[in-house]
Amino acid sequence: MKNERLKAIKIIVGSFISVTMVLAIISQQIYLGFASVLIGVLFWRLVQKRSKNIVVDERVMIVAGKASRLTFVISTVLSALLSVFLIASGSGSGQIDLEAVGTILSFVAMFNLGLYAMSYKYVEKKYGADEK
């Protein structure tokens, strides 16, 4: 399958998901949204499998790794800062809702850090950084 054709299919699948999501939001049908995403992703996976083209190689993996790291850093720092701000402003003004959201966000940030540490250890072990 040619790259141009693959790109066209990608655009069509993306458009299908977007349009169906908009319709799902307008008609307030959550299942329609989920179904459209599921169908779109499955169809795209099928197309990727059937085409002989290489879509993922070492450079793509490196780019994806760097993007993931950047996303992790930004999301964790943002949620941590926002949680501190919300807890401080919530306890200052006596608004329990803000404080609760802040606490949840701080747990999310901690969960992210914990998950990152575990994934890091796992990947490090996989690539032979064993001191024994």
Cα gap 34→20, rounded to integer Å: 10
Residue 74 or 117 having the CB closest to another protein: 74
Q: In this complex, which beta carbon is closest to another protein, that of residue 69 or of residue 121?
A: 69
**Quick one: which of 69, 72, 81 has its CA closest to 106?**
81
Distance between CA 72 and CA 128 in Å, rounded? 24
Which residues contact another protein by CB under 8 A?
3, 54-55, 57-60, 62, 73
Q: Are 24 and 36 in contact (CB under 8 A)?
A: yes
Q: How far is the CB of 83 from another protein (least distance, A)?
A: 23
Q: How far is the CB of 7 from another protein (least distance, A)?
A: 12
- For residue 55, the minimal CB distance to another protein (Å) is 7
DSSP-derived 3-state class of residue 51: coil
Q: How far is the CB of 56 from another protein (least distance, A)?
A: 8
13 contacts 21 by C-beta, under 8 angstroms: no
Cβ distance to another protein smaller for residue 91 or 119: 119
For residue 83, give both structure tokens.
């949680």
